[in-house]
């Protein structure tokens, strides 16, 4: 029985075409005097995102942490949605690395809005911490791949701008958001001071993210990355995979979204589960019967060759990606329906 791995869009293996591009990459020492393929990727990403520059990072976490250090000051607060990746999955890095306190704002569907951000602002006072930046996540992982649409983003940018606060966009899946909306990625970065995008999620690369910024901040970003141990040498081997993915994988992301919708449709309306319509490639399945347990369900599904992850005590997460076909999704849906409904 072949295994259908829906645990994350990070489980993809580099395709033969991507591996060839990596093998053929022109390289140099990027820390010493530059790697030409890495530079090409950084220029292309800055251009795609409408930003003034970008650097290549080994991980999204390191790029996010660099961004927070870049746009905040120690002893201040970062306004961020309460379920954000930087809050839950970066091991307190904001506190440790930037000396910054998070000011979590709960949004019912994970999507920050102008009025939520406005509500978190406080009048200046010698008694309360100053806020130094705002961060948003697009798409929002814990909210089930929800898209932060341009109109809402513009509102946040306006409120943040009025308060003099820079905005960081955690866009690990910004490519998915752009594909779902049918807009160019730079529409989703308007007004942002910094943007992180990943290549190791839906784009299917083994490694890599970029942090892009507005203004003249290359030296600062370089310094923070180097301090965190993110300077890489012949990184062109990895950047070549990302360049290949921008050409070959990004255009097919909508297929993953179609597959996610298909999975949700097959489960929708069945007793025992509740599934909301996915906007991108993440499907959240809630178990609604008393006594249901996500970990027990994950184990039952695994025995039948379908891998998903628990996301809370009665919630499962399934993520579609380029290594699952429509037939895989049909089979996974049958197994989920039989085991859960
Ligand atoms: C995966 C992810 C990250 C971190 O990326 P890594 O490369 O795994 O460190 C950051 N933000 C979001 C929203 C993510 O999904």
* pLDDT tens-digit series, residues 299-317: 999 999 999 999 999 999 9
pLDDT computed for residue 341 by the predictor: 80
Listed residues 199, 226, 248: the one ending a domain: 248
Note whether 209 and 258 are same-domain residues.
no
2: in domain:
no
Residues 260-297 have pLDDT tens digits of 999 999 999 888 899 989 999 999 999 998 888 999 99
208: in domain:
yes
Q: Which atom of ligand 1 is nearest to the CA of 208?
A: 7
30 ligand 1 Cβ < 6 A: no
Note whether 188 and 326 are same-domain residues.
no
Note whether 241 and 270 are same-domain residues.
no
68: in domain:
yes
Residues 18-64 have pLDDT tens digits of 999 999 999 999 999 999 999 999 999 999 999 999 999 999 999 99
Output the CA 260–ligand 1 centroid distance in Å. 20
Note whether 200 and 302 are same-domain residues.
no
pTM over 0.95: yes
Under the banding of pLDDT at 50, 70 and 90, the label for residue 124 is: confident
The label of the residue with tokens 């076909």 reads 325
* Tally of structural domains, the chain: 2
Note whether 316 and 203 are same-domain residues.
no
Mean pLDDT, residues 123-144 taken together: 95
CATH of the domain at 256: 3.90.1150.10
Q: Which atom of ligand 1 is nearest to the CA of 140?
A: 13
Q: How far apart are the first and last CA of the chain?
A: 22
Backbone dihedral angles phi then psi of residue 213, each to the nearest 5 degrees: -140, 165
81 ligand 1 Cβ < 6 A: no
pLDDT computed for residue 61 by the predictor: 98
Output the CA 126–ligand 1 centroid distance in Å. 35
pLDDT at 1 over 80: no
For residue 2, count CB atoms less than 10 angstroms from its CB and return exposed for 0-12, middle for 13-18, buried for 19 or more. Answer: exposed
60 ligand 1 Cβ < 6 A: yes
pLDDT computed for residue 45 by the predictor: 98
Q: What whole-number percentage of the chain has pLDDT above 90?
A: 95
């Amino acid at each position: 029985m072949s295994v259908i791995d829906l645990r994350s869009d990070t489980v993809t293996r580099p395709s033969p075409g991507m591996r060839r591009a990596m093998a053929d990459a022109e390289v140099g020492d990027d820390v010493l005097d530059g790697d030409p393929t890495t530079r090409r990727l950084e220029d292309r990403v800055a251009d795609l995102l409408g930003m003034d520059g970008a650097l290549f990072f080994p991980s999204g976490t390191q790029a996010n942490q660099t961004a927070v250090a870049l746009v905040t000051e120690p002893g201040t607060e970062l306004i961020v949605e309460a379920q954000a990746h930087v809050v839950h999955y970066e091991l307190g890095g904001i506190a440790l690395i930037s000396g910054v306190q998070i000011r979590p704002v709960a949004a019912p569907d994970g999507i920050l809005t102008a009025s939520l951000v406005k509500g978190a602002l406080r009048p200046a006072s010698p008694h309360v911490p100053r806020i130094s930046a705002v961060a948003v996540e697009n798409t929002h992982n814990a909210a089930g791949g929800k898209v932060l649409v341009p109109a809402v983003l513009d509102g946040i940018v306006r409120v943040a701008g009025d308060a003099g606060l820079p905005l960081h966009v955690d866009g690990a899946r910004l490519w998915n958001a752009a594909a779902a909306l049918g807009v160019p990625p730079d529409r989703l970065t308007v007004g942002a001071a910094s943007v992180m995008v990943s290549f190791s999620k839906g784009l299917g690369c083994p490694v890599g993210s970029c942090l892009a910024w507005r203004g003249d901040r290359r030296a600062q970003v370089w310094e923070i990355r180097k301090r965190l141990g993110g300077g890489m040498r012949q990184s062109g081997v990895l950047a070549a995979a990302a360049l290949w993915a921008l050409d070959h994988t990004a255009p097919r992301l909508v297929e993953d979204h179609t597959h996610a919708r298909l999975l949700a449709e097959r489960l929708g309306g069945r007793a025992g589960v509740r599934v909301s319509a996915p906007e991108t490639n993440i499907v959240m399945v809630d178990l609604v019967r008393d006594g249901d347990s996500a970990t027990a369900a994950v184990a039952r599904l695994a025995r039948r060759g379908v891998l998903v992850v628990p996301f809370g005590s009665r919630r499962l997460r399934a993520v579609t990606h380029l290594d699952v076909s429509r037939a895989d999704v049909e089979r996974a849906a049958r197994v989920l329906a039989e085991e859960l409904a």
